[in-house]
Amino acid sequence: MNTVTTIRTPIGELTLTASDEALTGVHFPGRHEVRGKPGTNGILERAAQQLSEYFERSRISFDLPLDAHGTEFERRVWTLLRQIPYGSTTSYGKLARQLGDPRDARAVGAANGKNPIPIIVPCHRVIGANGDLTGFGGGIDRKRWLLEHEGALLRLGALCLMLLFAPSAQAQVPKSQHGSVTQRVATTDISVSYNRPVARGRELFGVLVRWGRRWHPGADSATTISFSKDVTIDGKSLKAGRYTLWTIPEETKPWTVIFNRGTGGWHTNYPGDSLDALRVEVKPDSGAYMETLTYYFPMVDADSALLRLHWGTMVIPMLIKAP
């Protein structure tokens, strides 16, 4: 008989089932009754720990013995699912071609829907040929959340845009080039990933960037900042994780800088106040003219670093301290 336990996650309470030898199921809330004896064992403890690490973004693959009951065809599909890399997607048709019969796309979809160990066997990474998210046992919202969590929607959206606007088979080079900056502070790794808009003679603050309105400091896909451990930002605590950056610029008073848990989106689509992890007020400074928006660390000490957002002559400094 299976042993059954539950764990809390950002996408709701998950029910895990396992024998003494292998994990047998991961179940979303409200789907169906899960049978077994309540409790835990070594397999369930390992699964709970690895899922926790996945949701904290410190794990991108799982190392667990699995026992998924299904037909031979279903097991072949589930084996292919485990080969889809973290942060990537594939289509039902492509999986069917890998199995040797392109006409089996519907059968692949049915097998995908019967996967008893989602997330660990990543059926959420399979989408429609036209980019639609299509069905998912845990619901489309959870599928979207998982793909955003892994950064797959960001990559998919960028690819679709390049294909849509490319005048030929070769995509045009975007005007706002991608940039990144990383810095270690004590034992904490900090990384900023962003696309860099260029002024090109435009009047920036007060005209292009309106005072008192939410502004995303980047272009195209939303700028992300990640911390491998808990930190403080200007004296306020922020948990380890990956966030998107947003601001509310002000002409005569401190700016609001927002760290939001909603990742994988576009720079014009604010994920919502409910996902805000931290808001800090930052007094703006001025500096030498910077044509292209830039993030950089002008000062790094044993346990702290100063991160600057700099565009035109506007500088927004943020003091980051590591434990």
The residue assigned the tokens 């065809």 is: 73
CB atoms within 10 A of CB 276: 16
Three state DSSP letters for the chain: CCEEEEEEECCEEEEEEECCCCEEEEECCCCCCCCCEECCCHHHHHHHHHHHHHHCCCCCCCCCCECCCCCHHHHHHHHHHCCCCCCCCEEHHHHHHHHCCHHHHHHHHHHHHCCCCCCCCCHHHEECCCCCCCCCCCCHHHHHHHHHHHCHHHHHHHHHHHHHHCCCCCCCCCCCEEEEEEEEECCEEEEEEEEECECCCCCCECCCECCCCCECCCCCECCEEEECCCEEECCEEECCEEEEEEEECCCCCCEEEEEECCCCCECCCCCCHHHEEEEEEECCEEEEEEEEEEEEEEEECCCEEEEEEEEEEEEEEEEEECC
Distance between CA 133 and CA 135 in Å, rounded? 7
Told to judge if 123 belongs to the known catalytic residues of this protein, a careful annotator would answer: yes
Of 11, 43, 77, 123, catalytic: 123
- Copy the structure tokens of residue 213: 């309105």
Give me the active site residues, please: 123
